[in-house]
A and B are shown apart, each in its own frame.
Chain A
Amino acid sequence: MILEGKVWRYGDNVDTDVIIPARHLNTSESKELAAHCMEDIDPAFAGNVQPGDIIVADRNFGCGSSREHAPVAIKASGITVVVADSFARIFYRNAINIGLPLLEIGEAVKHIKAGDKIRIDLSSGTVENVATGGVFKAQPLPGFIQDIAKAGGLVNYVKEAGG
């Protein structure tokens, strides 16, 4: 699957409190959450993000709270994939479970800037910066995690597996 989009670029340790502040956690409706996504780190995000856009960040993206509302908000805002140097583990699990693809490409994120257009091949895990021509390879997902991703998330996977 090929995804192509414009980059929203963030730094280290983007925590789930800035992705979706707790003052908005009195709902789990994805559209309501998306309206406040990234509000405390980038007030321009929710109003300007376009379907197909991509988030690129540095280390430890999604640290902090286990709120699944964070990847839900990102996905509902139209973001198709998040690329980072590294991800915090609960965010990583949650994103896989709700069907938001993530790619971990290490320090290669340094070669991607805000507004760049990047092209991602999820099956091979390659990230191409269309502007510069640079190509970066992500760590492949373990087979079992790929199965959850292919099923569209954990609930479908459990239903299909029946066990």
Chain B
Amino acid sequence: MGMTMTEKILARNAGLAAVEPGQLIKCKVDLVLGNDITSPPAIKEFNKIGRPIFDREKIVLVPDHFTPNKDIKSAEMAKTVREFAKQHEIVNYFEVGRMGIEHVLLPEVGLVAPGDVIIGADSHTCTYGAVGAFATGVGSTDMGAAMATGDTWFKVPSAIKVELTGVLPKWVTGKDVILTLIGMIGVDGARYQSLEFTGEGLASLTMTDRLTIANMAIEAGAKNGIFPVDAVTRAYIKGRVSKSFEEVEADADAVYAQVVTIDLNQLVPVVALPHLPENVRKVAEVPETTIDQVIIGSCTNGRIEDLEQAAQIMAGRSVHPVVRAIIIPGSQGVYLEAMQRGFIETFIKAGAVVSTPTCGPCLGGHMGILAAGERAVATTNRNFRGRMGHVDSEVYLSGPYVAAASAVLGRIATPEEVLA
């Protein structure tokens, strides 16, 4: 019986010839990741085990959620992570000034490679499926244990094949693809399963589109989302990934529990209404909805291409007087390139604020918290009740074009409405 990409990667790292859905396996990990919120409890659990770390080059620590430290307690957590990194001579610890939002940073600096098994104490670790890795979010105890043992346990997931056909139309991005899919299958539509993206439609998806799509696999409940390795992937990792790796390809006779087909030609810009990512509507069909804030950034849409899209809409225009527009480049590298290409100037002239990289407002941490009754359009990944602030605030999820257009018009809007 043939295996999916996920099954083949898991089988290889478990030292098994084959695995099948439902099987419990112990699996070697190629990378263990944590952030400033999840690492302190992981370090505590790690210390209870009382063993050395398994590999100082395979643990990655990125303080990105409440950094630059938003309060004293957060500063203490960041300090715990910093001291642990120093004590164990962790190679890949990223201090403020060199850091980025973890899932923007790791692919950018070449720490994730095709065929890797990656666990991270952050649910959006699934982002790395974009480069053909098996990557999934876990909790702090899993992270702590894996830092000591170099392995973890998995239940092999069954798979949903997402067959993409056609070509992405203008103004439609990876964010619209994944929101449309979540709208189709629901927030638990892929619970415990892998989402395996495939089909001729992949050719029109940039690496940024793929990173955004894989990033939100968790929002459909999936264990991971994964893309085949093709020319787009190889061009992206060239010059970034220096370690050796092995590309993995799904068998032609791999077994999928379900097949979902999406014709990219038919997609339009969409938005997910409060309070679930599955409440997806075409932007053009949303009744007039005024807004107070726009966030463009996050591990979902904080890459240079995302900022380029926002700048394209904002160039020569002004953010609506009632809107606070907050732009957050996902890494120092993205920030620098955005500056060199003039995007930062465009944003500032438009009346937007540009922040240092941080997860900040996405999870209601800092840098843009909503008051009661306020409404935001955000390129982030979750619009749960109270996610960005007060329990009576609202978050609408979209891609950068729609977010930027909404910032300009002060209401949820399509890019065409601005450019018309």
List of A residues within 8 angstroms of B142 by Cβ: 93-94, 97, 154
User: Which B residue sits closest to A17, measured CB to CB?
Assistant: B384
Query: Which of A86, A89, A154, A159 is within 8 Å of B223, CB to CB?
Result: A89
Q: Report yes or no: B384 in contact with A15, Cβ–Cβ below 8 A.
A: yes
Known: A26-B66, A144-B24, A155-B144. A66 touches B123 (CB 8 A): yes
Say yes or no for B309: interface residue by CB 8 A criterion: no
Q: Report yes or no: B188 in contact with A154, Cβ–Cβ below 8 A.
A: no
Say yes or no for A64: interface residue by CB 8 A criterion: yes
Interface locus among B8-16, B38-46, B169-177: B38-46
Q: C-beta contact mask, A64-89 vs B, less than 8 Å → 1, else 0?
A: 11111101100000000000001011
Say yes or no for A63: interface residue by CB 8 A criterion: yes
List of A residues within 8 angstroms of B198 by Cβ: none
Q: Report yes or no: A158 in contact with B382, Cβ–Cβ below 8 A.
A: no
User: Which B residue sits closest to A87, measured CB to CB?
Assistant: B191
Interface size of A in residues (CB-CB distance below 8 Å): 41
Known: A89-B221, A90-B123, A155-B145. A60 touches B188 (CB 8 A): yes
Say yes or no for A25: interface residue by CB 8 A criterion: yes
Q: For the complex, give the distance between the alpha carbons of A59 and B187 in Å.
A: 10
Say yes or no for B140: interface residue by CB 8 A criterion: yes
Query: Which of A13, A66, A154 is within 8 Å of B137, CB to CB?
Result: A66
Q: How far is the CB of B116 from chain A (nearest CB, A)?
A: 18
Query: Which among B144, B223, B387 has the greatest number of chain A C-beta atoms within 10 A?
Result: B387
Q: Report yes or no: A155 in contact with B49, Cβ–Cβ below 8 A.
A: yes
Q: Report yes or no: B139 in contact with A93, Cβ–Cβ below 8 A.
A: yes
Q: Report yes or no: A41 in contact with B138, Cβ–Cβ below 8 A.
A: no
Q: How far is the CB of A153 from chain B (nearest CB, A)?
A: 7
List of A residues within 8 angstroms of B48 by Cβ: 155, 159
Q: Report yes or no: A158 in contact with B148, Cβ–Cβ below 8 A.
A: yes
Q: Report yes or no: B121 in contact with A22, Cβ–Cβ below 8 A.
A: no
Q: Report yes or no: A17 in contact with B385, Cβ–Cβ below 8 A.
A: yes
List of A residues within 8 angstroms of B74 by Cβ: 26
Query: Which among A66, A86, A88 has the greatest number of chain B C-beta atoms within 10 A?
Result: A66
Say yes or no for A18: interface residue by CB 8 A criterion: yes
Say yes or no for B149: interface residue by CB 8 A criterion: yes
Interface size of B in residues (CB-CB distance below 8 Å): 51
Say yes or no for B204: interface residue by CB 8 A criterion: no
Q: Report yes or no: B141 in contact with A63, Cβ–Cβ below 8 A.
A: no
Query: Which of B120, B140, B364 is within 8 Å of A22, CB to CB?
Result: B364
Q: Report yes or no: B41 in contact with A68, Cβ–Cβ below 8 A.
A: yes
User: Which B residue sits closest to A142, measured CB to CB?
Assistant: B24
Known: A60-B187, A67-B37, A90-B138. A18 touches B123 (CB 8 A): no
Query: Which of A65, A71, A153 is within 8 Å of B123, CB to CB?
Result: A65
List of B residues within 8 angstroms of A158 by Cβ: 49, 145, 148-149
Query: Which among A67, A68, A72, A145 has the greatest number of chain B C-beta atoms within 10 A?
Result: A68
Say yes or no for B391: interface residue by CB 8 A criterion: yes
Q: How far is the CB of A141 from chain B (nearest CB, A)?
A: 11
Say yes or no for B334: interface residue by CB 8 A criterion: no
Say yes or no for B122: interface residue by CB 8 A criterion: yes
Query: Which among B48, B70, B139, B144 has the greatest number of chain A C-beta atoms within 10 A?
Result: B139
Task: Given contacts A25-B66, A90-B218, list 5 more A-B pairs with CB under 8 A.
Answer: A26-B70, A27-B73, A40-B385, A89-B221, A158-B149
